[in-house]
Structure 1
C-alpha cells in the first residue's frame, strides 16, 4: 500500500516530530491500540496524544478500526497506516515549490534528528550498540525496490517482541536515494587522457 501526501497541509501534519513519534509508538505496540495505551507508552497525557492522533487520522495515517464498550466508556482502537508514505510534488503550483521544498526538508530533518538522537544515546554506553553505514551501491530500479521491500519485510517480521526468545530493541533509520548524475552535483566528468 502507498499513501501519497499531496498537499502542504498533509506534509505539515506528518512532518511534526511528535506525530512521527506517535506513529512509531502505534507500530511498536503491533496491534490496534487506544490513545490511552499510546499515551501511557510515551509517558504522556492522553488528551495531548488524542489531539495529534486526530490530525494524523485526518490525512489517513491513523485509522479507527474498532470500538469496544468498557465499563460504560467507548474505547476507540486505532492503527497506523502500514505502507509506503511518499510526497507528490507534481500537484503543487510552481509558486508553492519553495514552500513545498521547505516543508519536505523539515520533515526529513525531523526524521533524521530523531534517528541521530537514538543512535547517539545507544552509543553512550561503554559497549557501543550501533552501526552506521554510508556507502554507494549500483542497482537497477528493480533492485533498489527489492532492497527496500526486503528491509521493510524484515522490520515488519521483528516489529513486536513475542518474548519466546530473549531479544533487545534496535532502532533502524534507513534511507536510499538515487545519486545525482555528475553534471547535476557539480562534478565534471573527466575525459580519459590519451597516451
Structure 2
C-alpha cells in the first residue's frame, strides 16, 4: 500500500475536492476507528446511502478501505477505515489543474486556521501545548539538499503518525514551505 498519493488527474481532484468527502474524512480521522455508513451518516447528518456513495469514491483513490464486517441484528454491517496515506495535492505541477489545486489548498488552510482559532477560544490552560497547539513561521536558509531532507522528513513523519496509538490524540496540521524568490 502506498504511503502517499499524489493527485495528478482531474478525476482524482474532483473526487477529493468534494466538501462532503472532506467532512467524512475528517470525522473518520477524528474518531480513529472503523465506522459504518450509518455511524458516519449520524455524524454528518446525511443519508447512509450518500455516505456509501462517497466512501466508494474515496476507496477509488485508495484513501479509505473496508476494515471488517459484522452481523448486527442479521444485517451485515461494513466497517470502513481511513488508510494511512498522505495526500499530496500536486501543487508542484504546472498543468491545467493548477486553479483547482489552489482552491483546494485555500479551503484546507482556511478550515485548519478556523479550527485552530475555535480551539484557542475553548482552551482553559494556554500554557499546555496539548490543549493549544501553535503556529510557527519564519525564514529558514536551506541548501537544495537540506530542502529535500526537510520534505522527506515531513513526509516520513506524517506517514509514521497517521494511525492512532496508545496515549495519542489527533492533531490537525498544515505545513507550508517554499523557496522565497527575492525581488
Shorter-chain TM band: 0.7 to 0.9
Scaled by the length of structure 2, what TM-score is found? 0.74
Query: Could you tell me the TM-score, scaled by structure 1's length?
Result: 0.70
Aligned to 2:178: 178
The answer to whether the 8 A contact 1:33-1:79 is kept is yes
Q: Which runs of 5+ in 1 are unaligned?
A: 188-195
Q: Which residue of 1 aligns with 2:50?
A: 48
Report the CA distance shift for 1:179/1:17 in structure 2 as closer, same or farther (over 3 A): farther
Which residue matches 1:79?
81
Matches of 1:76 and 1:151 in 2, distance apart?
Answer: 27
Shift of 1:49: 2.3
Give the direction of change, closer, same or farther, for the CA distance of 1:47–1:115 in structure 2 (3 Å limit).
same
Q: Deviations 1:42-99 (Å, cap 9, x if unpaired)?
A: 4544233223222212322222232233222111121223122224589x9x8xx34x
Does 2:110 correspond to 1:113? yes
| SS, match of residue 69 in structure 2 | strand
Counterpart pick for 2:156 among 149, 155, 160 = 149
Matched, 1:135 2:138: yes
Bigger Rg, which one:
1
Q: Distance in 2 between matches of 1:106 and 1:88?
A: 13
Shift in Å, 1:6: 2.3
- d(CA) in 1 for partners of 2:87, 2:170: 22
Q: Is the 8 A contact 1:60 1:81 kept in 2?
A: yes
